[in-house]
Amino acid sequence: GENVEQHPSTLSVQEGDSAVIKCTYSDSASNYFPWYKQELGKRPQLIIDIRSNVGEKKDQRIAVTLNKTAKHFSLHITETQPEDSAVYFCAASMYDMRFGAGTRLTVKP
């Protein structure tokens, strides 16, 4: 089955700096790669996603890149703000969805 690895587990940046979170997946059949932000006790909130026929997608300060050959994808957050502090999960899916272990991002003012 699909196995998703996510790094780093914790990330601390200064406000205004960029943050990058990386994930790898094992199943080449996976074709959908979402990123979620989750607050404690809440459901995951989709922040950006990418399908396997696209290499890059951007939405304001957030971008995702996908390298299908290497089976890895990354989340890039630019101009980070304190409110970006949260736990972020990557996931890979062809039908059912498998999640990475999560990254706790802290943006220091």
Q: Could you list the residues that contact other proteins (CB under 8 A)? A: 1, 31-32, 34, 41-44, 46, 49, 51, 89, 93, 95-102
Q: Which residue in the block uniquely carries the two structure tokens 């199943």?
A: 27
Q: Among 14, 8, 70, 62, which residue's Cα sits nearest to residue 34? A: 62
Beta carbon of residue 88, minimum distance to other proteins (angstroms, whole number): 11
With a CB cutoff of 8 Å and minimum separation 6, the contacts of 59 are 47, 48
Beta carbon of residue 101, minimum distance to other proteins (angstroms, whole number): 5
Q: Which is nearer to other proteins, 46 or 58 (CB)?
A: 46
